[in-house]
Amino acid sequence: MFLLLSLVWVIIFSVEIQHSHGREIPVFYEIKSDEGIATLAGTERCIININEDLGNPQPLLIVPNKSEFYVPQNKIGDITLQPDEQIELFCSEKFKFPESISDTIVVSCIRNSTVLHNKLPIDFKSIKCDTNVYHTTRPTYQLCFNDSYLIQIGFNVSNGRFLDIIDVCFNTVLETTLYTHHIQMPQNIGFQHSVPRPHFIRGQYFKKTPHINKLFNKNKQKTIFEQTLGHSNISQYLSDEKKSLFLVRGHLTPKVDFIFGSQQRATFWLINAAPQWQSFNAGNWERIEQGVRQLIADRDLMVNIFTGTYGVLAFNDSDGKSNPIFLFHDQNNNSVVPVPKLFYKIVLDMNFTSGVALIGANNPFATIDEIEEEYVVCDDVADQLDWLKWDRKNIVKGYTYACEVDQFLEVIRHLSINVTNISLLV
Ligand SMILES: *[C@@H]1O[C@H](CO)[C@@H](O)[C@H](O)[C@H]1NC(C)=O
Ligand SMILES: *[C@@H]1O[C@H](CO)[C@@H](O)[C@H](O)[C@H]1NC(C)=O
Ligand SMILES: *[C@@H]1O[C@H](CO)[C@@H](O)[C@H](O)[C@H]1NC(C)=O
Ligand SMILES: *[C@@H]1O[C@H](CO)[C@@H](O)[C@H](O)[C@H]1NC(C)=O
Ligand SMILES: *[C@@H]1O[C@H](CO)[C@@H](O)[C@H](O)[C@H]1NC(C)=O
Ligand SMILES: *[C@@H]1O[C@H](CO)[C@@H](O)[C@H](O)[C@H]1NC(C)=O
Ligand SMILES: *[C@@H]1O[C@H](CO)[C@@H](O)[C@H](O)[C@H]1NC(C)=O
Ligand SMILES: *[C@@H]1O[C@H](CO)[C@@H](O)[C@H](O)[C@H]1NC(C)=O
Ligand SMILES: *[C@@H]1O[C@H](CO)[C@@H](O)[C@H](O)[C@H]1NC(C)=O
Ligand SMILES: *[C@@H]1O[C@H](CO)[C@@H](O)[C@H](O)[C@H]1NC(C)=O
C-alpha cells in the first residue's frame, strides 16, 4: 500500500481524481518505463470474474500461444492473473476496443481488472469484439462407428489453431448423432449465467434433411406422427403442451456445461442435439445434467462425458404394428433423423478407471411394463447413487436409471473404449 501511495502512477493523456485521506488529489498518470509498471504491478493480482468483468461481445480468453482456453481457477468464475502474467484475447473480426489491427492481442496483468495492452493500461471490462466470436465445425472423416465419423465443434483461432470443445460421432446414413464427448472440470460449475440462446445451426450436415429445423414445429410433428401411425387418436402424443408432450432439439452436450458464453453459444449445432420429449428434457434429463455438474464440482473430479442416443422410439399403430418414428423420409424414402429410444450420459474419469452410465427412456407414454422390458438394457444400479436428485421412476419426466459403464458399453457398442473393470462412481 505504501508503494502504491508513494508512486505517482501515470497514464498517458488521462487525468483522474482519486480520493485519499479525505482529500481530492489529482493524479497524473504517465507510463515512464516498463520498470515503473513492473514495480507497481508486483503489488496486486488481477481478478477477472467471468460474470462481472467480460465485455460483450466477449473475446475468447486463451492461454497465450496455446490451443487452450484460460480456465478460471475457482468455482465462482474468477480468473486470477499474477502480476505481469499474460492472457491472449481473440476476436473473429475486429476488436471494438482496444484498437488493434490483429484479431488476437496479448494483455498482461497490472492489478485488479486493469491490464496492459500496447503499453497502455486498460480496464479488462472495456475489451470487446465487433461481433460474437464465430464457432465452427471441423469434420475429421475419422470413423467412430459404422457409417459414422467424428466432427469437432470449436473455434478457428489465429495461427491455424483450433480450440476444440465438443467431439461428435455423427451417423451420415440415419442423420443422427450417436454420441458427443467433452471434458468437464470442477470449475465448470461456475459457468457464465444468462447467455441468450442462439438459433440451432444445421451446417453442412443433415444433407438429406434440408429443413430439419422446421421438423420441430409442433404442427409438423403432428403430421409426421399421423403419417407414421395413421392414428385418429394421434393427438394424444402432441396435444398437451401443458405436460410438455412434444419433441424438442434436446442438447446432448449441455449449454451450461461450458464456462464462457462464447462456448455456450457453440453448443447450438443440430449435430449436438436429438429429438427429445420436452417433459423428459426439462425433467429427469435436466436433473442428470445438473447432478453431474454438481458431483464433479463437489468431488473435484476431471472427467470425460459421453452423451448419446440409442435405438429408435417406436409406437404401435391401430393394427398393433410397431412403427419406428423418424422425423423425415427423403425422396428415396430413406428414413432419417430417428427419435431416439434412449438418451444416456457416461461419466468417466480421465484414466478410465471409474465411471457410471446414466440412462433415460425417451418415451413419456410408455407403461412401466414396457419400460422394464424394452428400455432398461442393463442391470440398474441407481440405488447405489446418492448424488442425484431425480424423480427417476416418473415416466412422463423420463424414466431414468444407472448402470456399470462396461456393461452398458457392451450393449450399445457405439463407443470403442477399450477398457474393462471400470469401478462404479457412486
Ligand atoms: C507467443 O509467441 C510469440 C511469437 O509467436 C512470442 O513473441 C511471444 O513471446 C509468445 N508469448 C508467450 C507468452 O509465450
Ligand atoms: C483492487 O481491489 C482491491 C480488493 O478488491 C480493492 O481494495 C482496491 O481498492 C482495488 N484497487 C483499485 C485501484 O481499484
Ligand atoms: C458394422 O458393420 C459391419 C459390416 O456391415 C457389420 O458386420 C457389423 O455388425 C456392424 N456393427 C454393428 C455393431 O452394428
Ligand atoms: C476454419 O479453418 C479451416 C482451416 O484453417 C478452414 O478450412 C475453415 O473454412 C475455417 N472455418 C471458418 C468458419 O472460418
Ligand atoms: C389408439 O387407437 C388404437 C386403435 O384405435 C387403440 O388400440 C389404442 O389403444 C389407442 N391408443 C391410445 C393410447 O389410446
Ligand atoms: C404393441 O403391439 C404389440 C403386438 O400387438 C403388443 O404386444 C404390445 O403390447 C403393444 N404395445 C403397446 C405399448 O401397446
Ligand atoms: C417407404 O418406406 C416405408 C417403410 O420404411 C414403406 O412402408 C413405404 O411403403 C415406403 N413408401 C414408398 C413410397 O415407397
Ligand atoms: C491417473 O493415472 C495416473 C498415472 O497412472 C496417476 O498419476 C493419476 O493420479 C491418475 N488420476 C486419477 C484421477 O486417478
Ligand atoms: C484392448 O486392450 C487389451 C489389453 O489392455 C489389448 O490386449 C487389446 O489388444 C486391446 N484391443 C484393442 C482393439 O485395442
Ligand atoms: C478389477 O478391480 C478390482 C477392484 O479394483 C480388482 O480387485 C481386480 O483385480 C480387477 N480385475 C482386473 C481384471 O483388473
For every residue of 164-232, DSSP letters joined together read EEEEEEEETTTTEEEEEEEEE-GGGGGPPP-PPP---B-TT--TT-TTGGGGGSHHHHHHHHHHHH--S
281 is in an annotated binding site: yes
Output the CA 316–ligand 6 centroid distance in Å: 6
Backbone angles phi, psi at 16, to 5 degrees: -130, 160
161 lines ligand 1 (CB under 6 A): no
320 lines ligand 5 (CB under 6 A): no
Q: Given this model, what pLDDT does residue 43 score?
A: 61
Cis peptide before 57 (omega within 30 of 0): yes
Closest CA to ligand 1's atom 7: 65
Q: Given this model, what pLDDT does residue 39 score?
A: 45
Q: Given this model, what pLDDT does residue 21 score?
A: 37
The sign of the CA dihedral 421, 284, 389, 263 is: positive
201 lines ligand 4 (CB under 6 A): no
156 lines ligand 4 (CB under 6 A): yes
Quick check: is 251 catalytic?
A: yes
Output the CA 214–ligand 5 centroid distance in Å: 28
Output the CA 86–ligand 1 centroid distance in Å: 10
144's enclosing H/E stretch is strand 136-145
**DSSP class of residue 103?**
S
Per-position pLDDT tens, the chain of length 426:
333 332 223 222 222 333 333 333 222 233 444 444 444 544 679 999 999 999 999 999 999 999 999 999 999 999 999 999 999 999 999 999 999 999 999 999 999 899 999 999 999 999 999 999 999 999 998 999 999 999 999 999 999 999 999 999 999 999 999 999 999 999 999 999 999 999 999 999 999 998 999 999 988 888 888 888 886 666 666 666 667 889 999 999 999 999 999 999 999 999 999 999 999 999 999 999 999 999 999 999 999 999 999 999 999 887 888 999 999 999 999 999 999 999 999 999 999 999 999 999 999 999 999 999 999 999 999 999 999 999 999 999 999 999 999 999 999 999 988 778 899 999
Angle, vertex CA 297, rays to CA 66 and CA 292, nearest 5: 100
Q: Given this model, what pLDDT does residue 235 score?
A: 60
Catalytic residue among 19, 251, 329, 414: 251
pTM of the model: 0.87
